[in-house]
Amino acid sequence: MPTSSHRRLPARRRLVLVTTGLVTAAGLGVLPFAARADAGAVDLAHDRLASQDGWASSGSGTTGGQAADAEHDVTVTTRAELVKALRAGPSGAPRIIRVKGRIDANTDDQGRPLTCADYAKGTGYTLAAYLKAYDPAVWGRSKVPSGAQESARAAAQAKQAERVGLAVPSNTTVIGVPGTDAGINGGSLLVQKADNVIIRNLTFADTRDCFPQWDPTDGSEGNWNSAYDAVTLRGATHVWADHNSFTDGPRYDASNPRYFGREYQVHDGALDITNASDLVTVSYNRFADHDKTMLIGSSDKDTKLRVTLHHNVFQGIVQRAPLARVGQIHLYNNHFDTTPRNGYTHSYSVNARAGAQIVAQNNHWTLSSDRKASQLLSGDGTGAFAGSGNMVNGSVTDLVAAYNAVNKKKIKSTASWKPALSKGLEPSAAGLPASLARSAGAGVLK
């Protein structure tokens, strides 16, 4: 069986995304901001994260764009308007960006749709030529691709990054306008070295890389690796991601072809928290139909990474819910459903590795008939999962004991820290499947 890889390649309101390679979107300076279209709605955009609500409430707390003036409180309906709002000066000025309806990130400055062929045009890249050049029978398996076709692939990928990478600055709230099915299709929100960001009430769908890279050295048989997360935090602090939905739909992985015997994977992470990001609360989100869902820590040498996940739903998730390295992670009142969905089959839920110190309280697993309690955790023998009150199909279960009974690399059952910021912690996990079905994800806030 091929070995999977953990390497990182290219109440309730906060979400962040960061990726490398952001390129300036040209020609947007003359675009006017859209007028406020939701003046009569309940104003959720000025909310701040409540005190004691997870790690993001620590210290100065998380207020996002709460202090924005009228000039920096705008409603956007297109990619061009969204980019202009994110870039509006002065740097660091508080801003509120209200997303109305769905924004397609794969569009040009005039709003015309862009395809993978548009990004590849002029670069010399074709998939057929790439496959021919790096076929393991020709290229071998001991080194990563280099040369003309790999350079062409990287150039095409950079053109797509210019469109789909959307940098979120400090002191910003990005929120979906209630009742408009607000969200971003194909986009990647980048929160990089920014502080005090709120992302709420948005659906992130099909963040897809047109140009995955083949790496024959990744795992025992090689892997195709894609570049974009729906939301990425890199060196970000005080971030609150709340009431968002993440999905690969409508282009699920089941439609991906296989080349060199491996899946041509066009989706990367849903919400990744890496590069010494710190003080993050992820609450009331719905993660569905995705493989590598949430990475906390980009390498075993990462630092900080204090993250709270509470009242989230994970459905049709293969792995990384989350995969945690190094940091202090608090998981409470989340619901994990291992039932296969839209071609996504559960591998594990939570991975504690590289010394990660996870405290898990009163979470609920709905275990499908094809899975066992011993398959819910994973680790490398160095991480901790200090659990209490966690349920499997309504019964309190010691997940570490179940895992350790059948695995050589043991997970520690005690952590080196105790959570103090756990607002809304429910004393029992029993009712979570029903309550979170009503309260988690985008479109719930009114």
Share of the chain above pLDDT 90, in %: 90
Which amino acid, 334? N
pLDDT band for position 23 (cuts 50, 70, 90): very low
352-392, pLDDT tens digit by residue? 999 999 999 999 999 999 999 999 999 999 999 999 999 99
The sign of the torsion formed by the CA atoms of 117, 106, 251, 7 equals positive
* Distance (Å, whole) CA 402 – CA 253: 30
Average pLDDT, the chain: 92
* Distance (Å, whole) CA 112 – CA 107: 5
211-239, pLDDT tens digit by residue? 999 999 999 999 999 999 999 999 999 99
Is residue 356 within 8 Å of residue 325, measured between CB atoms?
Answer: yes
257-285, pLDDT tens digit by residue? 999 999 999 999 999 999 999 999 999 99
**210-229 burial, b if ≥16 CB within 10 A, otherwise e?**
bbbbbbbebeeebbbbbbbb
User: Cβ of 89: how many Cβ atoms within 10 Å?
Assistant: 8
Residue 89 has a pLDDT of 87
- Please report the DSSP string for 315-374 in residue order: EEEEE-SSEEESSEEEEES-EEE---BTTB----SEEEETT-EEEEES-EEE--TT--GG
Residue 54 has a pLDDT of 98
Mean pLDDT of 429-436: 98
Residue 308 has a pLDDT of 99
User: Cβ of 116: how many Cβ atoms within 10 Å?
Assistant: 17
* Distance (Å, whole) CA 102 – CA 166: 15
**Structure tokens that stand for 120 in this block:** 């590849």
pLDDT band for position 328 (cuts 50, 70, 90): very high
44-101, pLDDT tens digit by residue? 999 999 999 999 999 999 999 999 999 999 999 999 999 999 999 898 999 999 999 9
Conformational region of residue 276, where left means phi above 0, alpha means psi within -120 to 50, and beta covers everything else: left
Residue 6 has a pLDDT of 44
pTM: 0.91
Closest CA to 183 of 106, 105, 96: 105
Between β-strands 231-234 and 271-274, what pairing exists: parallel, antiparallel or unpaired? parallel
Mean pLDDT of 31-51: 64
pLDDT band for position 43 (cuts 50, 70, 90): confident
pLDDT band for position 42 (cuts 50, 70, 90): low
Residue 445 has a pLDDT of 96
Mean pLDDT of 397-421: 98
7 is catalytic: no
pLDDT band for position 138 (cuts 50, 70, 90): very high
- DSSP SS3 for 396: strand
115-134, pLDDT tens digit by residue? 999 999 999 999 999 999 99
Residue 411 has pLDDT above 80, yes or no: yes
Residue 140 has a pLDDT of 97
* Distance (Å, whole) CA 25 – CA 277: 26
Catalytic residue among 320, 325, 353, 371: 320
Residue 11 has pLDDT above 90, yes or no: no
Q: Check residue 412 and report its DSSP letter.
A: B
Residue 37 has pLDDT above 70, yes or no: no
